[in-house]
Structures are given as C-alpha cells and as structure tokens.
Amino acid sequence: MDLEGNIKEPEMSMARERVYHASRLAKYRNPFGAQPEGGSVSLCLECPHSCREVTLCYTYGLYSFSYHEEPMSDAGELYKVELMLPDESGLLFYWFRFIDEEDNVKYYVAAGDTRDGEGMVYHEPPRVGADEDKYPYAFQITVYDKDFKTPDRIKGAMIYQIFPDRFARDDDFDFDRMTSASDRTERVYHRDWYEDVDIYGKPETGYLACDFYGGSLAGITQKIDYIKSLGINVLYLNPIFEARSSHRYDTADYKKVDPILGGNGSFEQLVKACDERGIKIILDGVFSHTGADSRYFNKFDRYDGTGAYKSFVGGVESPYRSWYNFWRDEDGNPLYDSWWGFPDLPNVNENDLSYRKFIFGEDGVVRTWLGRGAGGFRLDVSDELPDSFIRQMRKTIKRNSEGEGILIGEVWEDASCKCSYGSYRDFMFGNTHDSVMGYTFRHIVLDFLCGYIDAAVMDSRLEGFRERYPSEAYYSIMNLVSSHDVPRIMTMLSKPVDSDSREEQQKFKVSASDYADCSRLARMAYAIQIGYIGACCLYYGDEILMEGYKDPFNRRTYPWGRLTGRQEENLAYIRRLARLRTDNGCLRTGHYRTLFAEGDVFCCLRYLKDGRDFFGKESYGSSRIALLINRGDKPCYMSVEDKDDVVSATKVTKAFVSLTDNFITRGIRGGKMICGLPPRSFMFVIY
C-alpha cells in the first residue's frame, strides 16, 4: 500500500479469468473519491476475453437523470474508458454490462461491505431511482462544485455540544426569578439541580418536555475554561431562542434568547468569553416549524399582536398568516399542517417569500445572530427543508461572515445520496451545507464496539463514506457518538433492552459488572473520534461517562461538584486525548490511510507530507501518528514498521513485550516496534 492508500495488488494474469472492478483502487478508478465538476475519471474493468460487448452504463443528474452507454476499449489487461464528468454538481451512478460466453447479458454492479469497493456480477442492472428499492447497487461518483470550500475552523474541529438548560446554572441563580420569568402554567421547575428529569408533566397537561432546571448562558460562560480544557474550538448549543419547552425546538421568538437562559445580553458575554479563548459558537436553527405558542402562530394569545392562528380563525390580518398552511375539517374546525402531527409544532412554508425575508433579509434572523457573534448554524431536520431554502441559507451565512460562517445539517443517513420527498437532495455538492452531523459514523463505530461487525466491515463502511463525500465536507463532518437525540455512548455500549416505557428507561443504569468494560469501550470510541477524519463532537457529560437512554434521560444535568473518582479519572483521560489532537495537526487535517482492519483489530495512520496536510497547508506537531485498537477480550500484538517513510502494521504472535495501558507511546522513526495491546484497549503511536 502506498502513501495515498492505494493497495498494491500483484500483477494480474493476461488470461483475465474474472470480472472485476474496485472503486477504491487506482487501477480501476482514478482519481479516488468524489470529484469536482468538469473533471474526468478513468474507469477500468477486468473481464475475460470470452466476454463481448463490454459497456459502461451510467446515469447522472440530481432531480432528474440522463442515462447513457459507452463501449469500453480493450486496453490489453483491462477494458477502459475515460469519462468526462458533468459540468454541474450532482450524482453519477455507473455499472458495467457485458455478454458472457454463454450469450447471457450480465451486469457488474456495486456490493456492500467490500474491502476495496469491489462489486459483483448480477443478472439485473442497478436500481437508482429516488423512490426505488436500491438493490442491486450502482457505483457512485459524487460530483461537487469545483469552488466548494469549508472554513478551516470546522475541519478537524473539536466540538462541544451543550443542552443549555442542563449544563450549568450561574453563580447568581435565583429559583424565584426562574419561575417568574414566564406565565406558562404547564411548566415544571426543579429547585434541586441533581434530581432526575420529569417524565409526567402536570396532571392537567401530561408530559410536555416543559421541566426546567435553570441552566443558563451565564452558567456556560462561567465554565468556559473547563470547556477549553477539553481542547474545544467550536461550541454547539442546542436551541437558545425563547420557547415554551426546555428543549426549545418549538421556537417562540427567533431574535430573543430565552429569559431563563439570561436574555440577549448573556449571549454577548458568552461570545466575548469564547472569542478570548478561540472558540466559535454554532447555534441550533429550527426553521422547518415554530412553536404553536409563539409570537408568529400565537395559538394561546400569550404574545402581543395577531398571530397566524387567530388570523385564520377570526379573519384578522397578520403578517405571519402566509407562513402556515390551514384548512377546516367537515365540521368547520381549524386544522393546520404540523411537524410529524404534533400540534405544538406547526410547520412553516419555507418557500413563502415573507418568511424567507424574515430569515434571510437585511434585518433577518441569520444576519442578526451573525452580527451578535455567532459563528454559524446547525440546521435542524435538514431533509425537511427545501434545497433552495438551504442554498439561500448558505449564501446568506457566507456573504455575512467573509466566508467563515459554518453551516452543518442534521442528516442521519448518507448525505451524498439522501432521498426525501421523492428526490435526491442537494446536500453534499458544495451548494448547501458545509457538512452534516455524523450519525452514520456513530452507527458504524457503535456496531464495531458492540461486536456486531468486525474491523474489516467498519473500515469498508468508513471508506465508503470517505469515497462518496467531498474532502472539504468529510474533514468537516460532525462525528459524534452521543447527542440529545440518541442514547449516550455508555448506555448503548451496555446493550440495553429496548423499551418505550419512560419508567423502564429511567431505571436503566449500567451494571457494576459491566461498568469497567463499557468505560473502556467508551474511551475507545473517543479515541476513534480523535484519530479519524472529521470534527470530533463531544456531547456534554460524555467526558465523565454520564449515562442516559432515550430523550429525556440523555438530557440530564451535569453533576457539578459530585463527580465520582471514576468520573474524575475519565475526565483526565479525555483531556489527555484532546491535547493529543490539538497539539498535532495531522490528527485534524492530515492525510489518512488504513493500516490494518481484521477481526477485533483496527489500525490507521494520520500523516503529513513534507510538513503539509491533506489540503496542502503547513501544519504542526508530529508528522505521523498511528492509532491501534484492540476491541477484543484477549490481548493482541501488532508490529508497526516505518520503512522508507512508509508505515505498515501487521498482527504478530505473542512477543517479548509487556502489555501496557499507556495509550500514548513514541514510535521509532525508520524502524520497527512491537506493541502489546491489552483487551479493550487502544494506543496512539507518535512518530
């Protein structure tokens, strides 16, 4: 394998006894991965001489597709075609067709979980329609805007995500002030910071996620040095705008920080503290729906002026009426379109130009918060927003931040070929998001650490995303293992029995017998975040192994002043890992190569070339760092060799080296070392 990650295969026989194409090997597809518009790609197929009419089949587009075929020329060892890519961004799917020696028409299509992106012979062509069941698969080339750039700050960033109500109260917290901040009688207030989350609500309303602890932006500001000690350079805040609920995804006023969080002045103070420490803030932008209890919809008449609901019901003029879709049932009762049928979350018509003016205009929401010091936005439910809306969001952010504003999308699936509402989406071509949240990364890593897949499958799936995502986006992807929407990593590693009962979820706790094992695996998950490509996102409390199943238990309060010895130990561990990345640019934006992936063992290399990173920029720290992981319950030994400036790793039998839990060690430049990895352990080898 060379430094570019291309596997050096033995020379093939001219007999060509197989049909073969591997999308990740330069011999068959060159160059690797997603490509800028207007470029070209060489595609090759190994095929027996007994076959005939070897043809490249391809289709390209985004909202509509154009299908074509091109005969492949016999270049002696391989059939070959040089394909000019479209001059506009989108998707290009390809496969091969040939007639075998028995006069059967066959297709060479993509296959899942293969090492080098090799495919398989199949009797049908791939299905690639947006609404089709996509089997068999086509090979994919993501064609992106040649001018696509993401801010350097987000590439390989260290991100800390905070659910504001549950992170920290400020030193001047006053319970009576919190309870008097709103006249919403459905709210539940916690006097005790350490009591568990509410799961019942008030008897007259039931559960509404309206319980508050009084965490505030001033509380975050007072903990900013703690946050910085984790190596953080980007702070991602769940919604801070005024809302009825404690999660605040039911926005009530887009231009006002919730009074319980401290109001707009507290945001200015937080921005100042962050700026002094080199941290940028990303705000959670919820633009597909608002709250029913909001200045705009105003269903409960808690705001001055006429909201959209009263406008429809009473025939009164409102500037917000056109934002929402209303109708009446057979009995004349008012109905409206709402997010997943929740009446508290009325959907917004994002194509309404008055709504777009409110969001993107000169005095709009985006410009207002950028002007107040926000560094960008994370878009809630991106796949439920029109592509044109997200494109306008990106343009507005970039124009008002000298190109440095960040836009991250909430996309849970493969964003390069995401389909929703009957179409492929414009998510990964340089026109909308800088990048997306790494839920696919989380799924892959958890499957590996839980033992559902082996290292080879994990590597294949990660390499698949590296192949399909433009590098500008892949180095900026928000790789996470926990969030406010999924169970925490410690809980997931204990493999809880699934239950929709909040009472059962509330009781769930990692057993004493499993705790040590789960904590080692949780550290391993963070090591993968640190060592792999992308931005490393740490959900508040994961650094101390907080537990929590589904919402709301993944949103418990941070136990300030009550950390156990094990939590303090893990916090110190995470800080050391974070420093490894902040001190070595190769772990942020360096080149990448898998060294070994088999069974329980995964090894990868991050490196610089002549002191420069993947993007050709001068970097700092070590020029090479290898990450070695042993997921298994038995020790393993790896030989890591640096020969002629090429690092390789192989598994060896037990050697005369001691097993050690020291997870950072120094390698021998130009030599060989044997690393002994205990069960459930990892090691960074620094050259």
Dist CA 4 CA 2 (whole Å)? 5
Q: Where are the beta strands (DSSP E) in 372-439?
A: 376-379, 406-409, 419-420, 423-424, 435-438
Structural fold of domain 29-144: Immunoglobulin-like (2.60.40)
Are the C-beta atoms of residues 521 and 141 closer than 8 Å to each other?
no
Percent of the chain at pLDDT exceeding 90: 91
Pairing of strands 601-607, 591-598: antiparallel
Checking if the pLDDT of 595 tops 90, the result is yes
Q: Where are the beta strands (DSSP E) in 174-279?
A: 188-189, 211-212, 234-237, 241-243, 251-257
Mean pLDDT of 93-116: 96
- Which residues have CB under 8 Å from 341's CB, separation 6+? none
Domain ranges for the chain = 29-144, 289-349, 439-582, 589-686
Pairing of strands 241-243, 535-539: unpaired
Structural fold of domain 289-349: Oligo-1,6-glucosidase; domain 2 (3.90.400)
Dist CA 327 CA 336 (whole Å)? 6
Same fold, 439-582 and 589-686: no
- Which residues have CB under 8 Å from 443's CB, separation 6+? none
Tens digits of residue pLDDT in 606-651: 999 999 999 999 999 999 999 999 999 999 999 999 887 788 999 9
Which of 380, 543, 600, 642 is catalytic? The answer is: 380
Tens digits of residue pLDDT in 296-336: 999 999 999 999 999 999 999 999 999 999 999 999 999 99
Dist CA 167 CA 149 (whole Å)? 33
Q: Which CATH architecture fits 589-686?
A: Sandwich (2.60)
Query: In the structure, what pLDDT confidence band is assigned to residue 15 with cuts at 50, 70 and 90?
Result: low
Mean pLDDT of 46-70: 96
> Quick one: which H or E segment has residue 513?
helix 512-531
Measuring CA to CA, which residue among 134, 136, 143, 101 is closest to residue 121? Answer: 136
| Average pLDDT over all residues of the chain | 95
Q: Evaluate whether the domain defined by 439-582 bears CATH number 3.40.50.2300.
A: no
Which of 198, 410, 463, 642 is catalytic? The answer is: 410
Question: Considering the entire predicted model, what is its pTM?
Answer: 0.95
- In the 8-state DSSP scheme, what is residue 389? H
Dist CA 102 CA 117 (whole Å)? 27
Dist CA 603 CA 627 (whole Å)? 5
- Backbone φ, ψ for residue 528 (5° rounding): -65, -40
Are the C-beta atoms of residues 408 and 459 closer than 8 Å to each other?
no
Pairing of strands 211-212, 188-189: parallel
Checking if the pLDDT of 3 tops 60, the result is no
Dist CA 404 CA 540 (whole Å)? 25
Checking if the pLDDT of 4 tops 60, the result is no
- Identify whether 116 is a catalytic site residue: no
- Identify whether 284 is a catalytic site residue: no
- Within 532-595, residue ranges assigned H as helices are 565-582, 586-589
Are the C-beta atoms of residues 80 and 72 closer than 8 Å to each other?
yes
Percent of the chain at pLDDT exceeding 70: 97
